[in-house]
Amino acid sequence: MAKISSYALVAYLASGATLTSADCTGDISTFSGECTYEKFTNSLKTGCTVAELYPNGDAEAQVETLCRYDAPVQFVEIMGTYQRDRRYFAGGGPLVDGGNYTHESARLERFEENMGSKALIGFPEYAARMKYNKDNGRLATEDNPNGYPANMNLFASCQLNTVMCCFTDDSNGDGFDANGDDTTDVCRHDLQDSPQSNHIKRGWSVFPGAETPTHCRGFTWKDGEEELLGNMMYDISYRTTINKGYLEGIPGAPMCGCVEHMPTVETAQCRTATKTGDIQFTFTNDGVKVSASNTADITYKDCDNRDLKGQFVANNQGDETKIAAMDDRLVGDAGCEDDLTEYLNGEQFLQEHKHPTKYVDPEPDAWELVVGEGTRFFPSSEAQVEEDASFRQLIDAGCEDSDGNDRHCIIRRVCDSCTSEPHRDIYYKRLTALPPPSTESGGVNLLRLFMSYW
């Protein structure tokens, strides 16, 4: 199988330090099963040695890197650039809204015909994302880098082992109904779940009543079943687009992503991929560098349980925590109405619990309300000069400390709307004489200071 090496994660590929002899050029190692350093060395071409290929002594690390990043078809090879993939997953880009679907899909059609079912495809990773993920705490390090794209970081934000794509436009093919693909009601989306796609820090969208027909499909896996994740990702995304013409995502949400980043919907179709026989890996040396490729026999089909949530539950029997988390993402047939009622009442409109630092109720026996604004509206009945004088009298109302000595009375300032938590409830005791009133030179209106200029 031909390998377009310039599209791979070139920053991490083996470079082949020196020119090699004829015995170490061409196809130098071919084997089946798992891609490992041991299988690579055991299958080396007669007359070719590891020392000749890697005179710097880093053969094992180089081969392991090739196995991870070069032997599988890199996802970026399908359409050619990281930016095309990034924009497609977000629900845009030339293929989705470029205006010439036939032209933009030609490359994808060639890939599907020649390689879609004939090779192991790697899950999307990109050199452009490796530094970003490390710098932004997405569980990537120098020793263990990952280049997962937004909304698909298998290490940092895909704990439910489930990925989903949702499409709202079937106009480039026969349509959802003609293809036998069920549509689903869309309930809601927390915009902060996918800020790298919608560029919104926080907020939410709800979709009550009827909306554009939407088809969602995804895949789910058990730990240890990661070998064909890239093929399954290809199947529910680009392969669905080229074979069925499905495009466009749900407004405000990515078109594809780990289910934690996707909208809450009622149902989704479950897809999977299987292989016939072992995957064959071939390592080739062109005299300058070593590259790797693979051939495989891949079949794409519906899961044993065609419903994505049903398959997820079957995969996670007994794990009530994970199942409850999925219940918040896939709510079942006719589940949107109840889900929206609970979401809007419980999460947005009705506060069913008391906030620990907002809307506190000062004890009426200990505190006298002097003046208030907003939710504590209590206007003064006096003009500013007179109200300040009354306020000062309350401060000098003969309070005593624990030793019986005179002191200024304590002022309690409550601010429910303050964004800074320490400013929401303040106790103020004056240790020195009060400043002169505003009617005197250099004086202040003490009450207005507390209410408006604190």
Q: What is the pLDDT of residues 140-151, one digit of tens each?
A: 666 677 889 999
User: In this predicted structure, what is the pLDDT of residue 397?
Assistant: 83
pLDDT in tens, 294-337: 999 999 999 999 999 999 999 999 999 999 999 999 999 999 99
Q: What's the gap between Cα 107 and its chain centre? A: 28
Which is higher by pLDDT, 302 or 391?
302
Pair of tokens at residue 149:
């794209």
Distance CA 446, CA 454 (A): 10
Q: Which amino acid is residue 98, in one-letter code?
A: G
- Core vs surface per residue 265-302: b (16+ CB within 10 A) or e: bbbbbbbbbeeeeebbbbbbbeeeebbbbbebebebee
Model confidence pLDDT, tens digit, residues 6-20: 334 433 334 444 456
**Strand 269-275 and strand 215-220: pairing?**
parallel
pLDDT at 87 over 90: yes
CB 325 within 8 A of CB 312: no
Please report the pLDDT score of residue 26 as a whole number: 94
User: ∠ CA 144-147-151 to the nearest 5 degrees?
Assistant: 120
**Residue 395: pLDDT above 50?**
yes
Tell which phi-psi region holds residue 439, choosing left (phi > 0), alpha (psi between -120 and 50) or beta. alpha
Helix (H, G, I), strand (E, B) or coil at 127: helix
> 363 is written with which tokens?
């004890």
Residue 348 has pLDDT above 90, yes or no: no
- Nearest one of 454, 274, 447 to 370, comparing CA atoms: 447
Q: What is the mean predicted confidence (pLDDT) over 420-443?
A: 88
36-69: pLDDT as tens digits: 999 999 999 999 999 999 998 899 999 999 999 9
pTM summary value: 0.73
Percentage of the residues of the chain whose pLDDT score is greater than 70 = 92
Q: Are 399 and 406 in contact (CB under 8 A)?
A: yes
Residue by residue, DSSP assigns 234-249 as: HHHTHHHHHHH--B--
